[in-house]
Amino acid sequence: MPTESFHTTHWTRVLAARGESSDAKLALSELCEAYYAPVHAFILHSVGKDLSRDLTHAFFASLLERDTLGNLKKGDGKFRSYLLGAVKHFLRDEWVRNAAAKRGGGERPISLDTGPPNTSSGGGLSVEQISASDPPGDAFFDRHWALAVLGRALDALADKQGSGAPFEALKPWLTGEPVDISQAEVAAKLRMSEGALKVAIHRLRRRLRENVKTEIAATLDSETEADMAAEMDYLIRALNY
Protein backbone atom coordinates (compact mmCIF):
# COMPACT_ATOMS: atom_id res chain seq x y z
CA MET A 1 0.00 0.00 0.00
CA PRO A 2 1.64 3.30 -1.04
CA THR A 3 2.64 5.48 1.89
CA GLU A 4 1.33 8.62 0.24
CA SER A 5 -2.21 7.24 0.35
CA PHE A 6 -2.53 6.89 4.11
CA HIS A 7 -4.92 9.84 4.42
CA THR A 8 -7.47 7.95 2.29
CA THR A 9 -7.05 4.50 3.80
CA HIS A 10 -8.60 5.18 7.22
CA TRP A 11 -10.74 2.19 8.20
CA THR A 12 -11.09 1.11 4.55
CA ARG A 13 -9.34 -2.23 5.02
CA VAL A 14 -11.73 -3.08 7.84
CA LEU A 15 -14.85 -1.81 6.06
CA ALA A 16 -13.88 -3.72 2.90
CA ALA A 17 -13.93 -6.95 4.93
CA ARG A 18 -17.66 -6.73 5.64
CA GLY A 19 -20.21 -8.82 3.81
CA GLU A 20 -20.22 -12.11 1.94
CA SER A 21 -18.76 -11.07 -1.42
CA SER A 22 -15.53 -12.58 -2.71
CA ASP A 23 -13.81 -9.19 -2.34
CA ALA A 24 -14.96 -8.93 1.28
CA LYS A 25 -13.71 -12.44 2.05
CA LEU A 26 -10.36 -11.59 0.47
CA ALA A 27 -10.08 -8.40 2.53
CA LEU A 28 -10.96 -10.29 5.70
CA SER A 29 -8.46 -13.01 4.85
CA GLU A 30 -5.76 -10.34 4.44
CA LEU A 31 -6.67 -8.88 7.84
CA CYS A 32 -6.43 -12.30 9.44
CA GLU A 33 -3.04 -12.92 7.87
CA ALA A 34 -1.76 -9.48 8.88
CA TYR A 35 -2.74 -9.82 12.53
CA TYR A 36 -2.42 -13.56 13.12
CA ALA A 37 0.75 -13.07 15.21
CA PRO A 38 -0.69 -10.79 17.94
CA VAL A 39 -3.83 -12.93 18.26
CA HIS A 40 -1.79 -16.12 18.57
CA ALA A 41 0.56 -14.49 21.08
CA PHE A 42 -2.39 -13.39 23.22
CA ILE A 43 -4.05 -16.81 23.12
CA LEU A 44 -0.71 -18.51 23.86
CA HIS A 45 -0.23 -16.15 26.81
CA SER A 46 -3.76 -16.93 28.00
CA VAL A 47 -4.08 -20.72 27.70
CA GLY A 48 -0.58 -22.11 27.19
CA LYS A 49 1.20 -23.81 24.31
CA ASP A 50 -0.82 -27.02 23.99
CA LEU A 51 -4.08 -25.34 22.98
CA SER A 52 -2.93 -22.03 21.53
CA ARG A 53 -2.41 -22.99 17.88
CA ASP A 54 -5.72 -24.81 17.52
CA LEU A 55 -7.64 -22.05 19.29
CA THR A 56 -6.03 -19.36 17.13
CA HIS A 57 -7.00 -21.24 13.97
CA ALA A 58 -10.52 -21.71 15.34
CA PHE A 59 -10.82 -18.00 16.14
CA PHE A 60 -9.84 -16.90 12.63
CA ALA A 61 -11.97 -19.62 11.08
CA SER A 62 -14.95 -18.18 12.93
CA LEU A 63 -14.14 -14.72 11.53
CA LEU A 64 -13.83 -16.08 8.00
CA GLU A 65 -16.95 -18.24 8.12
CA ARG A 66 -19.33 -15.59 9.47
CA ASP A 67 -19.96 -11.95 8.59
CA THR A 68 -18.37 -10.96 11.89
CA LEU A 69 -17.55 -7.42 10.78
CA GLY A 70 -20.92 -6.83 9.16
CA ASN A 71 -22.11 -4.32 11.75
CA LEU A 72 -18.85 -2.36 11.96
CA LYS A 73 -18.90 1.20 10.71
CA LYS A 74 -16.84 4.35 10.98
CA GLY A 75 -17.17 5.66 14.49
CA ASP A 76 -16.69 2.26 16.13
CA GLY A 77 -13.08 2.93 17.16
CA LYS A 78 -9.76 1.18 16.60
CA PHE A 79 -9.64 -2.20 14.91
CA ARG A 80 -7.00 -3.46 17.35
CA SER A 81 -9.43 -2.80 20.22
CA TYR A 82 -12.21 -4.58 18.34
CA LEU A 83 -9.98 -7.58 17.61
CA LEU A 84 -8.79 -7.87 21.21
CA GLY A 85 -12.39 -7.78 22.43
CA ALA A 86 -13.35 -10.43 19.88
CA VAL A 87 -10.51 -12.71 21.04
CA LYS A 88 -11.57 -12.31 24.67
CA HIS A 89 -15.18 -13.15 23.87
CA PHE A 90 -14.04 -16.14 21.82
CA LEU A 91 -11.93 -17.48 24.70
CA ARG A 92 -14.76 -16.94 27.15
CA ASP A 93 -17.20 -18.79 24.89
CA GLU A 94 -14.66 -21.57 24.37
CA TRP A 95 -14.21 -21.92 28.12
CA VAL A 96 -17.97 -22.13 28.64
CA ARG A 97 -18.33 -24.68 25.82
CA ASN A 98 -15.50 -26.85 27.13
CA ALA A 99 -16.70 -26.62 30.70
CA ALA A 100 -20.18 -27.76 29.64
CA ALA A 101 -18.88 -30.57 27.42
CA LYS A 102 -16.36 -31.91 29.91
CA ARG A 103 -18.26 -31.39 33.17
CA GLY A 104 -18.05 -34.65 35.04
CA GLY A 105 -15.93 -36.26 32.34
CA GLY A 106 -12.68 -36.22 34.25
CA GLU A 107 -11.00 -33.84 31.78
CA ARG A 108 -9.69 -30.45 32.77
CA PRO A 109 -11.25 -27.56 30.82
CA ILE A 110 -9.23 -24.65 29.48
CA SER A 111 -7.74 -22.74 32.41
CA LEU A 112 -8.90 -19.14 32.22
CA ASP A 113 -9.45 -16.60 34.95
CA THR A 114 -13.06 -15.43 34.72
CA GLY A 115 -12.60 -12.58 37.15
CA PRO A 116 -13.89 -9.01 36.81
CA PRO A 117 -13.95 -7.55 33.29
CA ASN A 118 -10.91 -5.59 32.19
CA THR A 119 -12.41 -2.22 31.39
CA SER A 120 -9.30 -0.87 29.67
CA SER A 121 -10.33 -2.58 26.43
CA GLY A 122 -14.07 -2.35 26.75
CA GLY A 123 -14.72 -5.39 28.96
CA GLY A 124 -14.46 -9.07 28.29
CA LEU A 125 -12.40 -11.86 29.77
CA SER A 126 -9.50 -11.30 32.17
CA VAL A 127 -6.94 -14.00 31.45
CA GLU A 128 -4.55 -15.52 33.97
CA GLN A 129 -0.89 -14.57 33.72
CA ILE A 130 1.75 -17.13 32.78
CA SER A 131 4.22 -15.60 35.24
CA ALA A 132 4.44 -12.63 37.56
CA SER A 133 6.95 -10.94 35.24
CA ASP A 134 4.59 -10.95 32.24
CA PRO A 135 2.76 -7.75 31.32
CA PRO A 136 -1.03 -7.53 31.63
CA GLY A 137 -3.00 -9.30 28.91
CA ASP A 138 -4.09 -6.16 27.07
CA ALA A 139 -0.59 -4.70 27.08
CA PHE A 140 0.76 -8.04 25.88
CA PHE A 141 -1.64 -8.04 22.93
CA ASP A 142 -0.88 -4.41 22.07
CA ARG A 143 2.86 -5.06 22.06
CA HIS A 144 2.47 -7.91 19.59
CA TRP A 145 0.06 -5.79 17.55
CA ALA A 146 2.75 -3.07 17.41
CA LEU A 147 5.37 -5.64 16.38
CA ALA A 148 3.08 -6.85 13.59
CA VAL A 149 2.56 -3.27 12.36
CA LEU A 150 6.30 -2.57 12.45
CA GLY A 151 7.06 -5.85 10.69
CA ARG A 152 4.64 -5.09 7.87
CA ALA A 153 6.04 -1.58 7.53
CA LEU A 154 9.58 -2.98 7.32
CA ASP A 155 8.52 -5.56 4.74
CA ALA A 156 6.97 -2.81 2.59
CA LEU A 157 10.16 -0.77 2.89
CA ALA A 158 12.32 -3.78 1.95
CA ASP A 159 10.10 -4.49 -1.06
CA LYS A 160 10.59 -0.95 -2.29
CA GLN A 161 14.29 -0.69 -1.50
CA GLY A 162 15.28 -4.23 -2.33
CA SER A 163 16.11 -6.52 0.59
CA GLY A 164 19.73 -7.01 -0.42
CA ALA A 165 22.95 -6.33 1.47
CA PRO A 166 22.65 -2.49 1.68
CA PHE A 167 19.20 -2.58 3.24
CA GLU A 168 20.09 -5.40 5.65
CA ALA A 169 23.23 -3.49 6.67
CA LEU A 170 21.21 -0.39 7.56
CA LYS A 171 18.22 -2.20 9.08
CA PRO A 172 19.56 -2.29 12.68
CA TRP A 173 19.55 1.52 12.76
CA LEU A 174 15.90 1.50 11.70
CA THR A 175 14.65 -0.93 14.34
CA GLY A 176 16.94 -0.18 17.27
CA GLU A 177 18.53 -3.62 17.18
CA PRO A 178 21.89 -3.95 18.96
CA VAL A 179 24.82 -3.53 16.57
CA ASP A 180 28.42 -4.62 17.02
CA ILE A 181 29.72 -2.59 14.09
CA SER A 182 30.11 1.16 13.65
CA GLN A 183 28.44 3.23 10.96
CA ALA A 184 31.92 4.10 9.66
CA GLU A 185 32.70 0.39 9.16
CA VAL A 186 29.37 -0.20 7.41
CA ALA A 187 29.98 2.80 5.17
CA ALA A 188 33.39 1.41 4.19
CA LYS A 189 31.86 -1.99 3.37
CA LEU A 190 29.21 -0.33 1.22
CA ARG A 191 31.83 1.92 -0.42
CA MET A 192 30.15 5.15 0.61
CA SER A 193 31.07 8.01 2.90
CA GLU A 194 29.90 7.98 6.50
CA GLY A 195 27.96 11.18 5.80
CA ALA A 196 26.13 9.54 2.90
CA LEU A 197 25.35 6.56 5.11
CA LYS A 198 23.81 8.81 7.78
CA VAL A 199 21.67 10.50 5.12
CA ALA A 200 20.53 7.09 3.83
CA ILE A 201 19.56 5.99 7.35
CA HIS A 202 17.65 9.23 7.94
CA ARG A 203 15.70 8.77 4.71
CA LEU A 204 14.89 5.16 5.46
CA ARG A 205 13.69 6.08 8.95
CA ARG A 206 11.39 8.70 7.46
CA ARG A 207 10.00 6.21 4.92
CA LEU A 208 9.56 3.57 7.62
CA ARG A 209 7.61 6.03 9.75
CA GLU A 210 5.31 6.79 6.80
CA ASN A 211 4.83 3.06 6.22
CA VAL A 212 3.86 2.64 9.88
CA LYS A 213 1.37 5.49 9.47
CA THR A 214 -0.10 3.69 6.48
CA GLU A 215 -0.52 0.48 8.46
CA ILE A 216 -2.09 2.28 11.40
CA ALA A 217 -4.39 4.40 9.24
CA ALA A 218 -5.76 1.34 7.45
CA THR A 219 -7.38 0.12 10.67
CA LEU A 220 -7.82 3.36 12.62
CA ASP A 221 -11.14 5.17 12.67
CA SER A 222 -9.64 8.66 12.66
CA GLU A 223 -9.50 11.62 10.37
CA THR A 224 -7.17 13.91 12.32
CA GLU A 225 -3.40 14.20 12.49
CA ALA A 226 -3.72 14.52 16.28
CA ASP A 227 -5.36 11.11 16.53
CA MET A 228 -2.76 9.62 14.20
CA ALA A 229 0.05 11.11 16.31
CA ALA A 230 -1.54 9.72 19.47
CA GLU A 231 -1.77 6.25 17.95
CA MET A 232 1.86 6.46 16.79
CA ASP A 233 2.91 7.42 20.33
CA TYR A 234 0.88 4.53 21.70
CA LEU A 235 2.55 2.11 19.27
CA ILE A 236 5.99 3.25 20.44
CA ARG A 237 4.98 2.76 24.09
CA ALA A 238 3.50 -0.64 23.28
CA LEU A 239 6.81 -1.78 21.78
CA ASN A 240 8.45 -1.05 25.13
CA TYR A 241 6.02 -3.09 27.25
d(CA 61, CA 155): 26
Sign of CA dihedral 79, 143, 33, 59: negative
Q: How distant is the alpha carbon of residue 178 from its chain centre?
A: 23
The DSSP code sequence of 220-235 is ----SHHHHHHHHHHH
At residue 150, the pLDDT reads 92
Which residues form the domain of 182?
A: 3-239
Q: What is each CA distance from 47 to 103, 108, 138, in whole angstroms?
A: 19, 12, 15
Can you give the pLDDT at residue 132?
34
What is the domain count for the chain? Answer: 1
The residues, any chain, with a CB within 8 Å of residue 164's CB and separated by 6 or more, are: none
Instruction: Check pLDDT > 70 for residue 75.
Output: no
pLDDT in tens, 193-210: 999 999 999 999 999 999
Element containing residue 151 per DSSP (H, E): helix 137-161
Q: How far apart are CA 73 and CA 1, in angstroms?
A: 22
Q: Which amino acid is at 28?
A: L
Average confidence score pLDDT of the chain: 75
Contact 149, 212 (CB under 8 A): yes
Nearest-angstrom CA–CA distance, 159 and 136? 35
Residue 139 pLDDT greater than 90, yes or no: no
Instruction: Give the DSSP letter of residue 76.
Output: S
Once rounded to an integer, what is the mean pLDDT over residues 107-129? 37
pTM of the full structure? 0.69
